[in-house]
Structure 1
Amino acid sequence: MSKTAFVFPGQGAQYVGMGKEITENFSVAKEVYQEASDYLGYNMNKLCFEGPNEELVKTENTQPAILTTTIALLRVLENEGIKSDITAGLSLGEYASLVKSKVIDFKDAVRIVKKRGKYMQEAVPQGIGTMAAILGLDKEKLQKSIEECRHYGVVETANYNSPGQIVISGEVEAVKNAVKKAVEYGAKKAVILPVSAPFHCSLLKPAGERLEKELLKYSFNTPQVGVVTNVDAKLLKDKEAVVPSLVKQVSQSVLWQDSVEYIINEGIDTFIEIGPGKSLSGFIKKIAKSLNAQISIKNIEDVNSFKALINSL
């Protein structure tokens, strides 16, 4: 019997035009965009379908835009009766997992991530922090690179995405030097990322504190589907664990590789990436290969991928 995981992408997956085709073909998707527009007080359709890109890439806009697109696609799948046994999301994507598992209503989630984006953006002034992707270097050597550059400022691991892909985050000078050091230690590639803030490092703790105050205004439910959290790479224990987990997630490393390994070890053999882009599919493929696990990876982001997914099930 096949077991399925729904996985949801994070910030960086957005593009102008995302979700447009799916809303033109499915009324249930259209309703999600309308709900988001009503809850946030601006035209979510226009932002996602027309941009401009300069508006879409602002963190406080990106986060609700990706969440809306993701949930619209999720509703289309659910309408077809497709279910998941477990769920996980990368950073922002974890909020889609919480909506999927009925821990939180979409109307509350979209408001929270709007604030989350704002707090994350405001935590560190523009130009102070950055992030970099390090490819083809093991964890131990990367850790050494980081430790040797700490005297330049804050630099920490932000995302363990897949074997051979780790993202670091921190103050510009420290990150740039850690990139050079990583190359010296044998990294195949090390590139500074085009991000507006140093996400998932201790510089973002003030954003986590502000987010906690916001989260405490809402009520959460017990998960109806297992949610694997970024901070622990384990199942969310209960509704009491939601707020601490989401607060930590802002300034701690995202354990994506560990999360996917956990899901595979739970006997899941099918992953469906729901949302714009296919970045998670690439990570999952590498992780499964490192475990010698035979899995199937599918995605849905538009009508063609939806049809291909339905035909493959």
Structure 2
Amino acid sequence: MRIGLLLSGQGAQKAGMGRDLYDNNANYRATVDRASELMGCDFQKEILEDDAKLAQTQYAQVAIYTMSMGIYAALDDAVKAQVVGAVGLSLGEYTALTIAGALTFDQGFNILKDRGRFMQEASDEVESKMIVILDDDQAKILEQIEAAKLAGATLYPANFNTPKQLVIAGLGTDVDEFAQQLQDQGIRVVPLAVSGAFHTPFMQNAAEKLQARLAQESVQPLKVPVYSNTTSAAFEDVLATLNEQIVKPTHFAGALASMNEAGLDATIELGPDKTLTKFAKAIVPGEVKRYAVSDLESLEKVNAELSNNEE
């Protein structure tokens, strides 16, 4: 079986995530314990159990990365052997790159610890918001964004998640006005629980700090392809693409479509929820099987069903 991994992005976090895995799986627990050493605290109790900290970008990114990497560590080797590619949403790309061997766990964790801090600082500089727009005519939405910008609004497309889901970001008051405009047209709008306008020029200061930070790193060759949100193609120059990612829109739909073109029989989402699995259903309909691992029960199910797969 050809398996593609989906790695969670920010917004999926919730207090207590992974608790049953930590209590019952040694490989998962070892990953979280390593995060405790790197963070200098009891990571499970002081980060993963704390709603207030998980609401902050500087903690949420390392939390999701650690949980997703812990789940990967807990997968049976027979399941891992069937992985042929990976796609992560935003910070999930760092998880995907670590799984693919470009980064070590410690590298990915320490980079994300700094990236989260840089993005938190940039978010604190100005009051900004992100909203999800649920509509299948994204061209029309983009036209309205441009019209609003010509009228003086500060708005940007930020995440092209599926053909029917677009996330936009901007100044708080401008986003509120635009959301009302859309709702008046009968278009559904959902606030996004993040602390800043990610993947837009609002993150320019963070991008400059991240570029200097990534210049200190070296990466290893990828063992399996990782498909970029920025280019919708497989990563080539890893560090250069990660530098661009922080201020450019994500194209999860394009990245997943590219991975699917290489041939997939199943996807497994590793992280706190099933958001990317829902995206995958919209992007890659048909016979591809879908799994999501977020707790002990779902881990055991995936290991049982896929470890002895003979397809």
What TM-score does the superposition give when structure 2 sets the normalisation length?
0.93
Deviations 1:73-110 (A, max 9, x none): 00011545533100110001001101101100010111
- State the partner residue of 2:309: none
- The residue number in structure 1 matching 2:288 is 295
Q: CA deviation at 1:185?
A: 5.0
Q: How does 1:65-80 map to 2 (within 5 A)?
A: 65-80=63-78
Alignment of structure 1 residues 55-134 onto 2, 5 Å? 55-83=53-81, 84-125=83-124, 128-134=127-133
Q: 2 CA distance for matches of 1:201 and 1:116?
A: 15
Return the offset for 1:50: 2.5
Once the two structures are superposed, what CA deviation does each residue of 1:2-51 show, in whole Å capped at 9, x if it has no partner? 31101100001111111211122221111111111111222211134431
Which residue is 2:270 aligned to? 274
Q: 1:17-56 maps to which residues of 2 (within 5 A)?
A: 17-51=16-50, 53-56=51-54
In the TM superposition, what whole-angstrom CA distance separates every residue of 1:127-184 from its partner, at most 9, and x where no partner exists? Answer: 6211010002412111111012113332111111112111001111222232233335
Farther off after superposition, 88-97 or 178-187: 178-187
| Counterparts of 1:258 and 1:119, CA distance in 2 | 27
* Deviation string, structure 1 residues 221-258 (Cα, Å, up to 9, x no partner): 11111010110010012xxx111111111111110111
Quote how far apart the aligned CAs of 1:193 are: 2.1
Aligned to 1:243: 239
1:131 touches 1:168 (CA, 8 Å); kept in 2? yes
Match in the other structure for 2:200? 201
SS in 2 for 1:228: coil
Instruction: Output the CA distance in 1 between the equivalents of 2:186 and 2:239.
Output: 39
Contact 2:61 2:91 (8 Å CA) reproduced? yes
After the TM superposition, list the runs of 4 or more consecutive aligned residues in structure 1 that deviate by more than 6 angstroms. none
Aligned position for 1:257: 253
What is the percentage of aligned positions where both structures have the same residue? 28
SS in 1 for 2:284: helix
The unaligned stretches of length 5 or more in structure 2 are 307-311
Query: Partner amino acid for 2:296?
Result: V
Give SS of 2:4's match.
strand
Distance 1:38 1:79 in 2: 26
Q: Which whole-Å CA distance do the structure 2 matches of 1:50 and 1:201 have between them?
A: 30
Counterpart amino acid of residue 179 in structure 1: A
Across the aligned residues of Structure 1 and Structure 2, the Cα RMSD in angstroms comes to: 1.6
Judge conservation of contact 1:47–1:65 (CA < 8 Å) in 2: no
Specify which structure has the bigger relative contact order, considering alpha-carbon pairs within 8 angstroms and separated by 6 or more residues.
Answer: 2
Alignment of 1:95-174 (within 5 A): 95-125=94-124, 128-150=127-149, 151-174=151-174
Query: Per the alignment, in what secondary structure is the counterpart of residue 133 of structure 1?
Result: strand
